[in-house]
Amino acid sequence: MRELDTSQFFEPLRDALLRINVDLPDDVVRALMSAAEKETGPAAREVLSTIVKNIGIARHKRLPLCQDTGMVWLLLRLGEEVVLTGEPVRKVIHRAVEAAYTEGLFRKSVVADPLFPRTNTNTNLPPVLHVEFVPGDRVTVAIMTKGFGSENKSGLRMLLPTATPDDVMNAIVEIVRNARGAPCPPTVIGVGLGGTMDAAALLSKKALVRELDDVHPQAEYAAMERELLSRLNALGIGAGGLGGLTTCLGVKIASMPTHIAGMPVAVTVNCWADRKAVIEL
């Protein structure tokens, strides 16, 4: 067994949050620059070139990429051979989130209750936190700062178990088509297949943590990701919803077993500011 004091979570989490709100990962920057170079439509080309300039300014001046600095989403993968000691890990994570949003002067966008009375917590707390137990003695934390212009356009379809791969892809394309330009395209699409309704939604978030350049290890899903990217870009929604070649930068799929009577399909839509990180402790 390996002991890990939870105080070791604080600095890596705070630093990662400070970084990803001002500095996009390299895989996303490469995809956006490539899209800008290939674009032929004047309006979409202007949007993409402005996004690329914005990325450079944010990185140089350490300013937020977007005024919506998001709700923090975290997935803690805890090795079964690890024993956590010290302060409760949830408290350490909360302190790291609050510190990052205070030190970075990031907008605090979380309300204490969704309906009654929607009062801002003024700390960007709480984050959305999931914990997953995995074999071994490693601890990793996947992080996203999730803006809600795109989150609001995410969706779920509970298909019949007779659904074909084409039926699944049609449902995903429909969700993105209906979103139009609202989620600040070009988007990144995370797809969760299987489990239950809630499990599929979580899978779609996990899928978004993958790098845009990677290839799904299962050939059938790798082919679906390529086909979906082609179909989504063929919609012609384009950068900023102004038409053009690039509606979507990437599609990533995650799956798990499900019930014989169902086919849950969840889609999480992310905007071009695909702010993510994975840290290992």
Cβ pair 9, 96 in contact under 8 A: yes
- The rounded distance, in Å, linking the Cα atoms of 188 and 208 is 7
- CA 179 vs. chain centroid, Å, equals 17
Q: Check residue 84 and give its pLDDT.
A: 97
Q: Check residue 74 and give its pLDDT.
A: 98
Q: Check residue 66 and give its pLDDT.
A: 97
Q: Check residue 123 and give its pLDDT.
A: 98
Token pair for residue 134? 């995995």
Query: What digits encode the pLDDT tens for the residues 73-103?
Result: 999 999 999 999 999 999 999 999 999 999 9
- CA 139 vs. chain centroid, Å, equals 20
Q: Check residue 98 and give its pLDDT.
A: 98
- The rounded distance, in Å, linking the Cα atoms of 207 and 198 is 14
Backbone angles phi, psi at 132, to 5 degrees: -130, 130
Q: Check residue 243 and give its pLDDT.
A: 97
Nearest to residue 64, comparing CAs of 130, 113, 124, 121? 124
Residues of the chain with pLDDT under 70: none
Q: Check residue 228 and give its pLDDT.
A: 98
